[in-house]
Amino acid sequence: MVQASVGGMAAMLEMTAKKLGMTTVVDEEGLLVGVITDGDLRRFIQRGIDLVNTTAQELATTNPKSIGPDELAAKAVEMMERFSITTLVVTENERNIRGVIHLHDLLKNGIV
């Protein structure tokens, strides 16, 4: 998780450290404002966007796909397949982050 005001390089370092292929971007209150994925970063670099002088909020995809904490893993898998994504943010009340669920975790645990 990175603050919206930090630079894109900090977001990239967070993604590298957490090894999820994405990071959440939060506001001052810790509420979700968006996500940045590895794919997003690759596209920004291809377009020549300066990651040092661009904030995480400017780079973030707003309204990311999310799932509630009480939903079944089967729903998470269905959403990942439908939207061709590998991660979902687990949220309560749409912006209160409870975690991240990754397709690989579902596979490792025999859920898929």
Whether the Cβ atoms of residue 87 and residue 97 lie closer than 8 Å to each other: no
Measuring CA to CA, which residue among 39, 48, 47, 46 is closest to residue 12?
Answer: 39
Helix (H, G, I), strand (E, B) or coil at 25: strand
Please, is 55 exposed, middle or buried when counting C-beta atoms within 10 Å of its C-beta (0-12, 13-18, 19+)? middle
Would you give per-residue pLDDT tens digits along the chain (112 residues)? 888 787 777 888 888 888 888 999 999 999 999 999 988 888 888 999 888 888 889 989 998 999 999 999 899 999 999 999 999 999 998 799 999 999 988 888 777 6
DSSP assigned state of 109: T
The model's pTM = 0.85
Domains contained in the chain, CATH given = 1-64 (3.10.580.10), 65-112 (3.10.580.10)
